[in-house]
Every structure is written in structure tokens, then in C-alpha cells.
């Protein structure tokens, strides 16, 4: 399971305040803690709503802090192709991810030229289009086919494409969870080599004991074929859910990661 650490996001008040105050130590601490907890990528979102130039400068500041920690893979999380283009080259690690493209006509027109230039990056593709987020599996498969075709046409190898079928809250529609799980299974079957990802915590929005729901849903999603998730790597329960689910679904050879986790827990 590829873990994308979600914590450095300007939509979170403490992060927005740290960006405003240019509190390097605070941001650096969160980077280090996520990496030490097992995050494979650090998601960076600098969108504070203060315009393009401010987002570019704030993103560069965040990337500089990550680079201080080491050659850490970064996921650039922005809706602005100019921000994405100017940010990618500043990352020390050659392993970079763009979050995200989708099936919306304007989004494709704006971002595809950047992707053609940076086609060695990993790309997150969201299954939504000009009509919004589909309520059914079939439409998500249709949008996936469109995104995969566009990205491969731009030179992105299939193994670098991460499709996000978009988790929706079960508090809004109790079927949202099963629609997502079925979408994951169908995408993995229909597009061999494609990876899947999601912002998993959306599933529990509006409900009590959200962390508990998230952990169980993550385990179900791994069984369905989920390869990656944008999560809080500091949540030990989520890390435990990943470890157990991978052991139970044959992804953990000889159950070595599970055994290692048990040994560490007993110390």
C-alpha cells in the first residue's frame, strides 16, 4: 500500500497559519513525522485562496522544507497548472506526483500540456467530468477510460497512472461505499497495470467515530484492489489496518510485515 501523507494541506487551519507565519520548524516537524510513520509521498497543498502568485511562492517554500529533510517524494496538490508546472522542478526527489487531472474539459485543456512536459511523473486521475461526480460504477469506468487514454497519449506509462474513483460519504447515501468498492474492482480488472488511490476519510464525513469507519473501509478497499490512499500516516489504527489487510489478502509475503508489527508492539 502506497501511503500519501495528507497533513500538509492549507485547508487545515494549523497548516494555513504556519504558512502565513512562515513557521518552518512546524512544517518540517510534520514532514519528518509523516516520513517516519511510513508515508511514501508527502502531499503538499498551498492553496490559501490568496491568488496564483501567493500559491506559487508558498508551494516553493513548502517544497524547500521537504528538500531540507531529504530526497522525499512529493505529491503536488493544486488545481492550478501554472503552480504545478513551476513547482515540480523544485522537488529534490525524482519521484513526483501530480494531484490531479479529471474528465472535465477545461481541466484537461489546462493540465494536459503540463503533463506532456512532465510525463515521467505519477498522475492522479479523478473519475469526474463536466457533469460532476457520477453516482454509478459504469460512468466512473467510462471516465477512467477517457483519462487513461489521454494520459497514455501524453506519454505517461500505465504504471504511473493512479485512478481515484472518489469516495463519497455514506452519511449522504449508504450505497456510496459499495459503489466505490465496486469501482475499484472494475477498474483493476478493466485496466491492467493501473493503480488506484483515494481520499479515504470522505467515507465517514458527518458520522461519529470516523476513524473507526475509516479503518474498516480501508481494509475493505485493499481487498477490492486499492493500491494507495491519501491518509494521515500518524494514525496508528490506519497503519494497523493496512498491515492486517495486506496480510489477509496475500500482499504481505510470509506475513513478514505483520510479524514485524507484532514484534514492535510487544517491545
With beta carbons less than 8 A apart as the criterion, state whether 138 and 151 touch. no
Say if 49 falls within a structural domain.
yes
Collapsed DSSP state (helix, strand, coil) of residue 123: strand
Give the structural domain span for 40.
2-232
Say if 260 falls within a structural domain.
no
Cell of 159: 504504471
Say if 105 falls within a structural domain.
yes
Say if 137 falls within a structural domain.
yes
Say if 103 falls within a structural domain.
yes
Say if 134 falls within a structural domain.
yes
Contacts of 172 (CB under 8 A, 6+ apart): 205, 206
Tell which phi-psi region holds residue 206, choosing left (phi > 0), alpha (psi between -120 and 50) or beta. Answer: left
**What are the φ/ψ torsions at residue 212 (nearest 5 degrees)?**
-65, -45
Residue 267 pLDDT exceeds 80: no
What is the Cα gyration radius of the chain? Answer: 18
Count: domains in the chain: 1
DSSP structure class, residue 216: H
Say if 264 falls within a structural domain.
no
Sheet containing 228-231: order of strands: 195-196, 161-164, 122-129, 96-103, 74-77, 41-45, 2-9, 228-231
- The average pLDDT across 192-220 equals 97
pLDDT value for 27? 98
Q: Output the CA torsion sign for 185, 162, 16, 132.
A: negative
Cell of 22: 512562515
Say if 254 falls within a structural domain.
no
**Cβ burial, residue 24 (10 Å; 0-12/13-18/19+):** middle
Q: What is the pLDDT of residues 6-62, one digit of tens each?
A: 999 999 999 999 999 999 999 999 999 999 999 999 999 999 889 999 999 999 999
Q: What is the CATH number of the domain that holds 94?
A: 3.20.20.20
Angle between helices 137-153 and 176-190 (to 10 degrees): 40
Q: What percent of the chain has pLDDT over 70?
A: 100
Cell of 94: 525524482
Amino acid at each position: 500500500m502506497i501511503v500519501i501523507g495528507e497533513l500538509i494541506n492549507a485547508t487545515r487551519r494549523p497548516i494555513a497559519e504556519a504558512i502565513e507565519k512562515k513557521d518552518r520548524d512546524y512544517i518540517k516537524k510534520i514532514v519528518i513525522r509523516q516520513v517516519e510513520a511510513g508515508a511514501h509521498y508527502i502531499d503538499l497543498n498551498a492553496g490559501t485562496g490568496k491568488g496564483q502568485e501567493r500559491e506559487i511562492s508558498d508551494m516553493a517554500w513548502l517544497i524547500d522544507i521537504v528538500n531540507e529533510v531529504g530526497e522525499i517524494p512529493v505529491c503536488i496538490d493544486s488545481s492550478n497548472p501554472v503552480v504545478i508546472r513551476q513547482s515540480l522542478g523544485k522537488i529534490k526527489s525524482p519521484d513526483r506526483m501530480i494531484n490531479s487531472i479529471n474528465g472535465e474539459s477545461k481541466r484537461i485543456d489546462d493540465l494536459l500540456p503540463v503533463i506532456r512536459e512532465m510525463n515521467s511523473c505519477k498522475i492522479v486521475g479523478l473519475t469526474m467530468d463536466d457533469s460532476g461526480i457520477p453516482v454509478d460504477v459504469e460512468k466512473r469506468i467510462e471516465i477512467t477510460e477517457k483519462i487513461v487514454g489521454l494520459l497514455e497519449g501524453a506519454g505517461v506509462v500505465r504504471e504511473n497512472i493512479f485512478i481515484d474513483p472518489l469516495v463519497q460519504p455514506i452519511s449522504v447515501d449508504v450505497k456510496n461505499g459499495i459503489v466505490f468498492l465496486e469501482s475499484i474492482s472494475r477498474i483493476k480488472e478493466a485496466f491492467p497495470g493501473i493503480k488506484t488511490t483515494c481520499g479515504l476519510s470522505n467515507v465517514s464525513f458527518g458520522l461519529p467515530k470516523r476513524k473507526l469507519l475509516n479503518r474498516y473501509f480501508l481494509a475493505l478497499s485493499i481487498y477490492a484492489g486499492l493500491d494507495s490512499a491519501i491518509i494521515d500516516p500518524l494514525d496508528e489504527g490506519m497503519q494497523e489496518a493496512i498491515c492486517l489487510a495486506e496480510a489477509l489478502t496475500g500482499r504481505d509475503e510470509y506475513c513478514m510485515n505483520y510479524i514485524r508489527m507484532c514484534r514492535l508492539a510487544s517491545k
